[in-house]
Amino acid sequence: MAKNFFDKIRPTFSEGGKLSWLHSSFDAFETFFFVPNRVTKKGGVHVKDCVDLKRILIIVVLSLVPALLFGIWNLGEQHSIVFGLGWGFWEKVWYGFVKIIPLYLVSYIVGLGIEFASAQMKGHEVSEGYLVSGFIIPLIVPVDVPWWMLTLAVAFAVIIGKEVFGGTGMNIWNPALLARAFLFFSYPSKMSGDSVWVGGLSKALEGGTPWKGGEVVDALSGATPLSHASLDGLSQAGTSVLDLFVGNIPGAVGETSVIAILIGAFILLCTGVASWKIMCSSVLGALFVGWLGTSFGVTDIPCWEQLLMGGFAFGTVFMATDPVTSAQTECGKWIYGFLIGALCITVRLFNPGYPEGMMLAILLMNTFAPLIDHYVVSANINRRLKRAKTV
Partner 1 sequence: MSDQIRLKKGLDLPIAGAALCEVTKRVAPGLVAVKPTDFRGMVPRLLVKEGDAVKAGTPLFADKKCTDMVFCSPVSGTVDAIVRGDKRKLLAVRIAADGKNESVSFDVPKAASLDKEAMTALLLRCGLWPCLKQRPYGTVADPQAEPKAIFISGFNTAPLGADYAFTLQNDFDALQAGVDALGKLTKGGVHLSLDARKFAGDELHKLTGVIFHSFEGPHPAGNVGVQINHISPINKGEVVWTVDLPLVAVIGRLFLKGVYDTHRTIAVAGPAAVNPSYAEVPAGVAMADLAGFFGNDGEIRVISGDVLTGETVGPDGFLGFFHNQVTVLKEGRYYEMFGWANPIRSKKFSVSRTYPAFLRCHKKYDMDTNENGGERPFLMNDVYGKVLPMDIYPLQLFKACLAGDLEKMENLGIYEIIEEDVALCEYVCPSKIAIQQIVRDGIDLMIKEM
Q: Which residues bind partner 1 (CB under 8 A)?
A: 2-3, 27, 31, 33-56, 58-59, 125, 127-129, 166-170, 270-273, 275, 323-324, 326, 328-330, 373, 377, 380-381, 383-385, 387-388, 391
**Smallest distance from partner 1 to CB 30, Å:** 9
Per-residue DSSP letter, 238: T
Backbone φ and ψ of 151, nearest 5° = -60, -50
Residues contacting residue 332 through CB under 8 Å, at least 6 positions apart: 369, 372, 373, 375, 376
Of 22 and 58, CB closest to partner 1: 58
**CA nearest to 276, candidates 321, 235, 231, 244:** 321
Q: How far apart are CA 369 and CA 350, in angstroms?
A: 24
DSSP characters for 177-235? HHHHHHHHHH-HHHHSSSSTTSTTHHHHHHH----STTTHHHHHHTS-GGGG-SHHHHH
**Smallest distance from partner 1 to CB 377, Å:** 5
Residues constituting the chain: 391
Of 30 and 356, CB closest to partner 1: 30
**Smallest distance from partner 1 to CB 175, Å:** 13
Of 79 and 162, CB closest to partner 1: 162
Of 18 and 46, CB closest to partner 1: 46
Of 168 and 202, CB closest to partner 1: 168
Of 262 and 269, CB closest to partner 1: 269
Of 125 and 304, CB closest to partner 1: 125
Q: How far apart are CA 379 and CA 387, in angstroms?
A: 12
**Smallest distance from partner 1 to CB 229, Å:** 35
Of 59 and 183, CB closest to partner 1: 59
∠ CA 379-337-239 to the nearest 5 degrees? 165
**CA nearest to 137, candidates 174, 192, 186:** 174
**Smallest distance from partner 1 to CB 146, Å:** 33
HEC profile for 60-73? Answer: HHHHHHHHHHHHHH
Q: How far apart are CA 120 and CA 19, in angstroms?
A: 12
**Smallest distance from partner 1 to CB 275, Å:** 6
**Smallest distance from partner 1 to CB 257, Å:** 24
**Smallest distance from partner 1 to CB 282, Å:** 16
**Smallest distance from partner 1 to CB 273, Å:** 7
- Given a contact cutoff of 8 angstroms between Cβ atoms, the answer to whether 28 and 44 are in contact is no
- Given a contact cutoff of 8 angstroms between Cβ atoms, the answer to whether 133 and 156 are in contact is no
Residue 169 parent element (H or E): none
Q: How far apart are CA 258 and CA 382, in angstroms?
A: 43
Of 221 and 271, CB closest to partner 1: 271
Residues contacting residue 252 through CB under 8 Å, at least 6 positions apart: 71, 139, 140, 141, 142, 143, 197, 311, 314
Residues contacting residue 56 through CB under 8 Å, at least 6 positions apart: 273
